[in-house]
Structure 1
Amino acid sequence: MTGMIRAVGTMSGTSLDGVDAAEVTTDGERIAGFGPTAYRAYTAPEREVLRAALGRWPAEPGVAEAAAVVDAAHAEVLSRFPQAELIGFHGQTLAHDPRGRGTHQAGSGDALARGLGRPVVWDFRSEDVRRGGEGAPLAPFFHFACAQWAGLRAPVVFLNLGGVGNVTWVDPRQPGPEAPGAVLAFDTGPANAPINDLMRARRGQEVDEGGRLALSGTADEGVVARFLSHPFFARIPPKSLDRNDFHGLLAAVAGMTDADAAATLAACACAAVARGGEHFPAAPTALYVTGGGRLNAALMAGLARATALPVEPVEEIGLNGDMLEAQAFAYLAVRVARGLPTSGPSTTGVPIPTGGGRISHG
């Protein structure tokens, strides 16, 4: 494929809320424009099937059922994009252990390509892990393109607050994302996942809407300090996490009121981002937040306090914070189709710039 391509990417994140889909017109280097978007929520029963399979590997109990849910939901939402020339299908991450068993995203690009009759790029992470990379995060090359599309002229940080937080430090003055000093990316720590788990366990709700519960509580700074003593924070990036790597956080807030527990978990997420800032090559001029966490006022206010940076949702520079990850996989799909790298030493720690992804033609 050459020239500008209308690609649609999908993302089903660790929060297990549903499938985002978004169109990007790109040649895999420049972004020419953003197209329509769509969302397909998982039903409560589907969410339970996915949740039951978290942490499991291919052929283990519950994985086939989870993959069937993933395939059906993605086929449904992608049917709304008949104009797409290429599809980037991330699948649903069930387990991620790059130094051990690898990485596992449920869902079949082959099945989607057959059902949709269009080429599907999928399995984006495995090749990076096979070559010694972390396999995550994969959005940084797209963030670089976004910074150039937005006309930024100084280093900035994109912070994705999903189930896990991850940052991309970007210098848009560089010629491309593979260039030395163009990007640095890594997972910061848990973000929405512990808060969502708390809300579900204590109140039967999926999220702390707007961060209202956390704003009404007081964070336990002792818990935050112990959280920051975790060896993950001392590791030099690139580095990545699984959703459940900090499962002990819920136990740490077990004796607190709902409000204080939510406030403490939010403070931990913000402190993790601030600690990650110690690794940036140069001070950024702003922090642009994407993902569901940007709608949580407790997280946004906490980030501003913890980082002493201007903290804005990505909408401030014309981007769509609900769809940025889905758009990233549209962009990466075109890079795969053109044989361009999708990760590099400063994003996943892979020794050389590497192109991941398989292409199924249906």
Structure 2
Amino acid sequence: MRPPLTAIGLMSGTSLDGVDAALITTDGVRVFHHGPSLTVPYDTALRARLRDILDRAASLSADDAYLLDAEQALTDVHTQAVQAVRAKAENTPVDVIGLHGQTILHAPGRTWQIGNASRLSAATNLPVIHDFRTADVQAGGEGAPLAPLYHAALLHGHPTPAAVLNIGGVANLTLMTRYGDVLACDTGPGNALLDDWMFRHTGQPCDFSGACAAQGTVDTDRLSALLAHDFFRKPPPKSLDRLSFHQALEQISALSVEDGAATLTAFTAAAIASTPLPEQPLHWFVCGGGRHNPTLMLMLAERLSGTVQPVETLGWDGDALEAECFGFLAVRSLRGLPLSLPATTGVPYPLPGGRLTCGGISPAGRRL
């Protein structure tokens, strides 16, 4: 058995909040230690540039100067995050960085994340695993979600069937069945539509504490129309882009700010509840920013048959989970272990992935 490695995972989600960073010690199968974690927020200018790039990514080329300039600024925020975690960890030796990057486009047959691994490696003097999704997409998979194997490692030993529900910009779930099988998919919009609605109508980046939605009334007719989308008739595995349901904002444009927020919050909850699963979880453990929205959590509890609780009830850090995941996957990549399975992304067979930039010897002196 190969020794565990210490990794810093980096995640920049579709909610465009900033860069999450977390330190984790793992052999790619078991998790031995959860280290410090933190978030370095994007400043207003970078968030606006990334939002603009997301809106027109399909028409951009990889050598677009505007894109490359934004990628450099984005990478520098990732560097700050690595340095801050290392400082919090009191300079614990780190073996590798797992860089997810910022997804700017995700569609059938194509996935695109930005973030300069070479620049990050040079700035931190650490090897970087990146480009986690491309191999899966090239092999015929959806390329997402990639968190299920990490969720499964954490769920080991807990009562099943159980689901980990990650509500970021897009919502996705991992189901561990009573037999230990793992199934996963994106379920529909997470926070992204609601965030965009609030930004458009109030200038606020999100519906803080679900307060706006709590004051509104769900428009059931419009909700039914939103749920008629073909995506919800597809069985898992399946995946989405942040903008896959952006037309929903036009479908509810006549509503008040409060009713629109309530309807979009209900859309997220109803989409999760409508996901066809081989068995219903006894427990739903929620991570991602959505768990901080009491209105959404209440709607989930009303629609799901199992208990709905934040992952903190298991002793996990729901704000660090995705970053930890890419540290975990970086070690799996180094060890040649699969990052995705047929039941998680639809890839034909268990598939390794990720690319290594810089170095075969870590600063800790251990051969990777």
TM-score range, shorter chain: over 0.9
Q: Distance in 2 between matches of 1:96 and 1:69?
A: 22
Match of 2:83 in 1: 79
| Aligned counterpart, 2:36 | 36
Secondary structure of the residue aligned to 2:239 is coil
Structure 2 contact 177–279 (Cα < 8 Å) conserved: no
Q: 2: CA distance between counterparts of 1:171 and 1:256?
A: 40
Q: Which of these residues, 326, 345, 349, is aligned with residue 348 of structure 1?
A: 345
Report how far residue 173 of structure 1 moved. Answer: 5.6
Distance 2:128 2:183 in 1: 28
Partner Cα distance (1:240, 1:216) in 2: 31
Alpha-carbon distance in 1 for matches of 2:320, 2:178: 21
* Residues 136 and 40 of structure 1, relative CA distance in 2, 3 Å threshold: same
How many pairs align? 349
Asked if structure 2 preserves the Cα contact closer than 8 Å seen for 1:188 and 1:273, the reply is yes
The match for 2:328 is: 331
2:356 alignment partner, SS class: strand
The amino acid of 2:126's aligned partner reads R
Q: Can you list the C-alpha shifts for 1:193-221, whole angstroms capped at 9, x where unaligned? A: 01100111111101111101101110001
Q: 1: CA distance between counterparts of 2:306 and 2:248? A: 26
Can you list the C-alpha shifts for 1:53-83, whole angstroms capped at 9, x where unaligned?
1141523463212211221100111112243
Query: Does the C-alpha gap of structure 1 residues 361 and 86 become closer, same or farther in structure 2, counting only changes over 3 Å?
Result: same
1:248-263 aligned at under 5 Å gives the runs 248-263=247-262
Residues 1:147 and 2:145 aligned together = no
Report what 2:313 is aligned to.
Answer: 316
Q: Quote the offset at 1:110 in angstroms.
A: 1.7
Structure 1 contact 11–21 (Cα < 8 Å) conserved: yes
The aligned residue for residue 274 of structure 1 is: 273
Q: How does 1:156-167 map to 2 (within 5 A)?
A: 156-167=162-173
2:100 matches 1:90: yes
Percent of matched pairs sharing the same residue: 44
1:298 positional shift? 1.0
Q: 2: distance between equivalents of 1:275 and 1:59? A: 41
Equivalent residues of 2:184, 2:237 under 8 A apart: yes
Deviates most, 83-92 or 120-129: 83-92
1:201 aligned onto 2:200: yes
1:267 aligned partner, one-letter code? A
What's the offset of the Cα at 1:38?
A: 1.7
- 1:1-362 paired onto structure 2 within 5 Å: 2-54=2-54, 55-56=56-57, 57=60, 58-60=62-64, 62-80=66-84, 81=86, 82-83=91-92, 84-99=94-109, 102-148=110-156, 151-171=157-177, 174=180, 182-276=181-275, 278=276, 280-361=277-358
Give the alignment's TM-score, normalised by structure 2: 0.92
Q: Which runs of 4+ in 1 moved over 3 A?
A: 171-174
Please give the per-residue CA displacement for 1:112-131, whole angstroms capped at 9, x wherever unaligned. 11221111100000010010
CA displacement 1:158-208 (0-9 Å, x = unmatched) = 11110111011013763xxxxxxx211101111100110011111110111
Report the Cα offset of residue 308 of structure 1.
Answer: 2.5
Task: Report the secondary structure of 1:185's partner residue.
Answer: strand
- Residue 285 of structure 1: how far off its partner (Å): 0.9
Contact 1:20-1:37 at 8 Å conserved across structures = yes
- Provide the rounded CA distance (Å) in 2 between the counterparts of 1:60 and 1:296: 37
Q: Is the 8 A contact 1:161 1:192 kept in 2?
A: yes
Secondary structure of 2:327's aligned partner: helix
- What's the TM-score, normalizing by structure 1? 0.94
Secondary structure at 2:16 match in 1? coil
Q: Distance in 2 between matches of 1:196 and 1:142?
A: 27
- How many angstroms does 1:270 deviate by? 0.5
Are 1:147 and 1:172, in contact at CA under 8 Å, matched by a contact in 2? no
Alpha-carbon distance in structure 2 between the residues aligned to 1:252 and 1:296: 23
User: 2:127 is matched by which residue type in structure 1?
Assistant: P
Letter in 2 for 1:132: G
Please tell me whether the aligned partners of residues 153 and 173 of structure 1 are also in contact (alpha carbons under 8 angstroms).
Answer: no
Q: Report how far residue 309 of structure 1 moved.
A: 2.0
The structural deviation recorded for 1:2 is: 2.9
SS of 2:273's equivalent?
helix
User: d(CA) in 1 for partners of 2:179 and 2:28?
Assistant: 18
Alpha-carbon RMSD: 1.4
Q: Distance in 2 between matches of 1:4 and 1:208?
A: 41
Q: Which runs of 5+ in 2 are unaligned?
A: 360-368
